[in-house]
Structure 1
Amino acid sequence: MCIATVYIDTVSGKEEVMGDVVLVECENDGLRLTALLGEQKLLQAKVKSIDFLEHSVVVERGEAR
């Protein structure tokens, strides 16, 4: 099973947005994150990096393209 933690890149470093993320979907206005137990968050952000080895996704604020 592949579960990731999503972080947002800020001027002070990375801050955790959501843990146990099993699905990241691109929406017109950003990213929809879905956790293992069904919790969802919609972020106005874009993906900066994905590290499969560390099970992490880093996003940055901004409009999706």
Structure 2
Amino acid sequence: TLASSRWKSLEQIEEAGRYATAPYPDVTYWEQNWRKGGLSERRIAIIKEYNFYNQQYCGCEFSMRKEEKGG
């Protein structure tokens, strides 16, 4: 959700991903810009193909309230 949202800072997300995986040598954060080159459409196709959960809001309290009210 974060890496594909156009409202989030990709630099901050990638920095957080690298920070979160740093203590784990066998885990690598996969830096991928899902916003360009048709990857947004590919993301949607993957979600549908594998029946992944797709959160419709970022998760902050403001968007959660909006979602609870029906969008």
Give the shorter-chain TM-score range.
Answer: under 0.3
Higher helix share: 2
Task: Give TM-score scaled by structure 1 length.
Answer: 0.21
Higher relative contact order (CA 8 A, sep 6+): 1
Task: Give TM-score scaled by structure 2 length.
Answer: 0.20
